[in-house]
Structure 1
């Protein structure tokens, strides 16, 4: 039987730093298992290729939710990376840590050691920021973080207009005051997407104590006498068990990690028994506490030259392709999410709860076809994101078949306050776009359209056209209460030698894009595992 000291499941945003850091100790043997294959694909490496990755079955799990009552019973498309790098290979590459109060809130909920002072060192450890070292950044970590290589004049006008609306420009969205307007930074290295695999595994894959298994699906964690001893995998059509001497770390993400726990007999006992799965540990919180960002889309038609749309259509897009191939510069070297304004929906709030993103391009996404079509007119688009929603969903089993996807019910807008605060954000976005200098570029509002003025009309738009942030978290939350799945050391309650290290352990969602916090979780998890250094099983 194959045996390793540590088995890490999932080569995504958290799993890659876990495996990389554990293998720094030459005395540890580490196996990293990924269900997908290589990410050596042009549209993954190309930052602007995000839209090409929708519905790519070789690289994407292509999940859909159950019909969501608060979203007109629509099934919402949830892309998740199924390749080396996981969702960091298909996401928008925005580097946002969240607000310090997010993490202090985790600590108050029972996640000891996960307050801002406890997590900042691990954000810094991973980061190689092109701005260099400072109190809030590191220039010598493994993952590159960079400023956009191009700054469209419309975005510059948007940032200036935000200041006129009362939301001043700041120098850094990841530093105090964590509020205001600026350009996003992105995980892009010299015109190429920087995945967690590129950053943490590719440079060290030569290590003799690190093995990477691609295209291998973990079917269950083997639990014997209250202890995780190995994993059953499906590799090249054959099932086999791989043993772990020290620990098993689940880093499959907020959708796949709870699913794997359930398949392994860890979860709500009644649900497991109803699917014929023997209960190894009754943990009713597995799959619960699902959170995601829901946003209201907005589109404006703008004057010629105020949008990238014409450059990305017709024969001009081939010129951009040639420019990128020759120089790694131009529009294909950019993330579409250029900038954001972080604001509060009410002045008495302790921190911003709205993220208002503007993109110098507009498009229509057809999820069931898996295509993104740039609009035929000059347009810019916005996403008004509610950062700390009150709505909670769940992941549940559909069957005991490990290859069948579970059921996802996010319950978007089930908390009425979510809709109320998002509508405030839509109106604030209109306020900014009506200010000089960006107002001079606006021809007219296309979505939701100026006919939508009342709360009822805007809420209808939010339910009919709103979409998710693809930031699912919380389904294996850490804490000490009855619904917690892992303790603050990320150890699964009641099952020895088993941890979860990914976005599923977040008690509450962070105030911004979630990739950077997932990398931080991986860094902190690896440090704790090395500190604990559990003895090898005989």
Structure 2
């Protein structure tokens, strides 16, 4: 298939969470000709995408990139699956629909690191702009935006028990967990509308699919950017086996995500010079930070309990409630985010050690302020070649200590009356563990939250890839608008922050166009 119009004002690479937002805002806010390119296919007619309780079926499906994290002794030499959506809406079409902004301190930290305009007060209007909050507009919530946000209702017994147990433990109740300083327990926020996923493909892109100035390509793999000196002028892609060259008169915006945005930069000669030369890729722009600074939340798949009686069928997003808490009281902000799971959610190693009954449920401690840093590297110069994706989970002792504390906290919560009412026995672990046993349990149970960020970090130092306006350092006509630009990972899920980043980029693009 040959594209009839090879010249566009803006070309967006990746119709995932961020790309759908940028396309919508450019089409609505200007008369620009916009091309949106997606390697995957349509999200229409896939029940596991639309039906919240079936989202786990997306993991490893045909619309999943099915990446893997490299093994490491820090996680008991396990290679860990990394799910990334290969479909319109990207991972926002396949994930668990948790809508969480994180803590004010996350964004104030970005600004304090030299990124002007990214403090919480500055980005709050962007969070609000995208939302259609069930409770209506307020100082901290938005209404009338494209994405419907609702609290879980009619909670599963496991989720209700979590709220009650945390209350007797001493945690405050949060009517809305998306306050600026979340610390406590409450029903989870989900991006759903009338029981159906409300991701950016449906909420942002679908209403403008028929716009005359928008072209959407699916099944198209971008293989390199085209450069004229220090200016990005377009790209090359493969579609139905045919290579095509497309031009962007204004900008190319990379929204391919934390794994594929740095890969595309490196394929185009933009990245660490030594790594590029090793692969015989000519260096067009030496940027040492491309592919570095990989960060990932860690969740324990293993804190499991046998139910006294069969639980009702899982519903909502299998979670329903959550809490934010500190692994150490001296911390300035919570570093743990727990979710109850209405199914037995354990790693293969934990299941082999502790046989898990089918009528079980879990508490999943998540570490959301991680210290460990990893990287993404290409192993060959092929556009579809293997990658070395190494997050170095638990490489820093502080992360191990925090998750050991999280394990202990989970057992404390499980000891509260509300959980004793629904739990017949502790399955994994069956009892309190020694420090040595707890560390071993954490290393065997640790799993990625599927929240990779940071591989094209924003900043001004040598390791930075983009500036505070998301423009790639040293190049013109090239911007990045996805989770790869996060200098540090937010202390919650990454869906809402990624939408906010796309809103930020859209605002900058429209302002630059007028200017």
Is the TM-score greater than 0.5?
yes
Superposition deviation, residue 253 in structure 1: 0.6
CA distance in 2 between partners of 1:38 and 1:364 (Å): 32
Match of residue 412, structure 1, among 369, 393, 408: 393
Match of 1:491 in 2: 471
**CA-CA distance at 1:364 after TM superposition:** 5.1
Question: What is the alpha-carbon distance in structure 2 between the residues aligned to residue 295 and residue 104 of structure 1?
Answer: 25
State the superposition RMSD in angstroms. Answer: 1.6
Asked if structure 1 preserves the Cα contact closer than 8 Å seen for 2:103 and 2:180, the reply is no
CA distance in 2 between partners of 1:3 and 1:403 (Å): 26
Q: Are residues 1:131 and 2:155 paired?
A: no
The equivalent position to 2:259 in structure 1, one of 246, 255, 259, is 255
Is 1:447 the counterpart of 2:452? The answer is no
Contact 1:26 1:209 in 2 (8 A): no
- CA offsets 1:54-88 (integer angstroms, 9 cap, x no match): 2112x110001221221121111000000000001
Which residue number corresponds to residue 371 of structure 1? none
**Structure 2 CA distance for aligned equivalents of residues 175 and 493 of structure 1:** 34
Deviation of 1:362 (Å): 2.0
> For the Cα contact (< 8 Å) 1:160–1:169, is it kept in 2?
no
Distance in 1 between residues matched to 2:222 and 2:404, nearest whole Å: 42
2:52 aligned partner: 47
Contact 1:363 1:375 in 2 (8 A): no
- Matching residue within 20, 27, 45 for 1:16: 20
- Is 1:286 matched with 2:286? no
1:277 aligns with 2:258: no
Deviations, residues 471-530 of structure 1 (Å, cap 9, x unaligned)? 000000000010000000000001111001000000000001111100110011100111
Structure 2 Cα separation of the partners of residues 453 and 366 of structure 1: 20
Distance 1:155 1:187, change over 3 A: same
Give the length in aligned residue pairs: 504
Query: Quick check: 2:341–2:363 contact (8 Å CA) kept in 1?
Result: yes
- 1:195 is displaced (CA, Å) by 1.7
* Kept in 1: contact 2:293–2:457 (CA 8 A): yes
Deviation for aligned residue 1:375? 6.3
Please state how far the C-alpha of 1:154 moved relative to its aligned partner. Answer: 3.3
* CA deviation map 1:330-350 (0-9, x unaligned): x3xx10122111111122211
The alignment status of 1:144 with 2:148, answered yes or no, reads yes
Shift of residue 111, structure 1, vs aligned partner: 1.4
Q: Secondary structure at the match of 1:255?
A: helix
**Counterpart in the other structure of 1:515:** 495
Question: 2:404 aligned with 1:423, yes or no?
Answer: yes
**CA distance in structure 1 between the partners assigned to 2:104 and 2:496 by the alignment:** 14
Report the CA distance between 1:361 and its aligned residue. 2.5
Matches within 5 A, 1:237-252: 237-252=241-256
Q: 2:384 aligns with which of 400, 403, 427?
A: 403
Question: What CA deviation, in whole Å up to 9, does each residue of 1:406-441 have, x standing for no partner?
Answer: 210111111011000111111111111111222222
Match of 1:4 in 2: 8
Task: Quote the Cα distance in structure 1 between the aligned partners of 2:161 and 2:200.
Answer: 33
Correspondent of 2:323 among 332, 341, 361: 341
- Gapped regions of structure 1 (runs ≥ 5): 313-330, 368-373
In the alignment, which of 161, 168, 176 is matched to residue 165 of structure 2? 161
Q: Work out the CA distance in 1 between the residues paired with 2:30 and 2:330.
A: 52
C-alpha deviation, 1:378, in angstroms: 2.4
Please give the alpha-carbon distance, in whole angstroms, between the structure 1 residues aligned to 2:401 and 2:357.
32
Provide the C-alpha distance between the structure 1 equivalents of 2:202 and 2:444, rounded to a whole number of angstroms: 38
Q: Among residues 222, 228, 236, which one is paired with 1:224 in the alignment?
A: 228
Contact 2:356 2:427 in 1 (8 A): no
Q: Does 1:206 align with 2:213?
A: no
State how far apart, in whole Å, the 1-side matches of 2:80 and 2:413 are: 29
CA contact (8 A) 1:45 1:192 kept: yes
Moved more, 17-26 or 524-533: 17-26
Consecutive unaligned residues of structure 2, counting only runs of 5 or more, are 350-354
Q: 1:232 aligns to what SS in structure 2?
A: strand
